[in-house]
Amino acid sequence: MSDEFSEERRFADWRLALKSILGFWLVYAATVVARALLGEDPWTVLHNKVPTIIAGTLLTFVLYAVLNASTRGTSMYRKAIIAAVLSALAAILQAAIIIQLEPYFKPSKEEFRVQTREGFVVVEQGYQIRIERAASDPLVVTMPRMAEMDQEKKIRWIADSSVTWFFFFAAWSAFYLASLAQAQALGAQRRAAQAEAAARAAQVRALRYQVNPHFLFNTLNSLSSLVMTGRNEQAEEMLLKLSTFFRTSLSVDPSADVTLAEEIDLQRLYLDIEKVRFPSRLRVEIDIPKEVESARLPALVLQPLVENAIKYGVSPTREQVTLRIEARPLGDGRFEIIITNTGSPDARPAKDSDKIESTGVGIANVVERLKARFGTHAKCEFGPLSNGGYQVHIIMPLDRSNG
């Protein structure tokens, strides 16, 4: 079967993530460079900070990947909670990585001199602290590296350092989620505008479908046959159904959503008329459970599909064709509609002239409207069946709200 919609792709916003991650860490690197240039040993400072920057950048990419994969289709509130948890984990990992890299750091040659109240001068250089006293030799103390500390002190250092790094990762997460929310809002506005334009275009198409000369010609022929054979009650009933169908379909606002029950009622009217034309060839089955009757969908979106099923499935053959319309909830916040016309692959055509090649306009109309209304959250598959029939499979969000 053909598929006109793909599922929402993972990492579709990778360009936004890439720019924001590199932007954040480049700003951090710029502050590191500025600080290094203020000191006496800038190259050692940069040498020691580069691994930290690389590790942090990679962790931010991992944070993005996990956040993107674990929050698809969730609310922004839940995204924020997951982002906060992931930021805390990234901060802990960043601090732990720094401890592991610390043996490879070079001692800085820069000196920090402090005059104490007792008259001593404390000089800090790298891992050494030298206390200069006026009447005696300097006292030199070598501080242990972090790798030489006991486990408890390492954990305390990681905890203290993680607090600082948490705010960095949380700031990036907040910026990313805010940019994502803005992009989604703009996308929703764009889809709404496209949906309105598609609906107006669909109105023109719908009017063309509803006054299709072949449909009217065949229906009037059927009415004439009923009158000529004395079946006046059936002719009157068909005329009333035709009038109801036109009045109902023309009164529908194509830019608005209707319930599935309302859409199916309109299709019943149309099919009742067609069953008079094909009393022995058309069999209709409709299975719509109550839990999806209130689901909302674009008005008249099923009309081209049902008309195609009659035009390409019933008209060209002498065999009986079953047209089945069914809907089912999927349990993941979506529901499906399946329209199937069944027929034998060896079915004989009614006439050679009745062999009709589909132009695909009806399905293209449906695909266009679903994409404009729901974006990538809708799916439409269609294609021939092995038994000679044809099937259209639509998946849409199960939205019961009006508007």
- pLDDT, one tens digit per residue, over 322-364 is 999 999 999 888 999 999 998 655 444 444 334 444 445 678 8
Which pLDDT score, from 0 to 100, does residue 202 have?
61
78: left (phi over 0), alpha (psi -120 to 50) or beta: alpha
Structure tokens that stand for 8 in this block: 């929402």
The CA distance from 86 to 17, in Å, is: 16
The residue ranges of every structural domain in the chain are 9-105+150-184, 111-142, 211-397
Segments in the chain below pLDDT 50: 5-7, 204, 207-208, 210-211, 346-359
Neighbouring-strand partners of residue 132 = 121
Do 83 and 173 form a contact (C-beta atoms < 8 A)?
Answer: yes
Q: Is 366 exposed, middle or buried (0-12, 13-18, 19+ CB in 10 A)?
A: buried
Which pLDDT score, from 0 to 100, does residue 336 have?
96
The residue count for the chain? 403
Structure tokens that stand for 106 in this block: 């070079």
The CA distance from 314 to 294, in Å, is: 30
Which pLDDT score, from 0 to 100, does residue 206 have?
56
Task: Kindly indicate whether the domain formed by 211-397 is annotated with CATH number 3.30.2350.10.
Answer: no
Which pLDDT score, from 0 to 100, does residue 106 have?
85
Residue 391, phi then psi, degrees to nearest 5 = -140, 140
Question: 28 to each of 22, 37, 49, how far by Cα in Å?
Answer: 10, 14, 10
**pTM exceeds cut of 0.75:** no
Neighbouring-strand partners of residue 130 = 123, 140
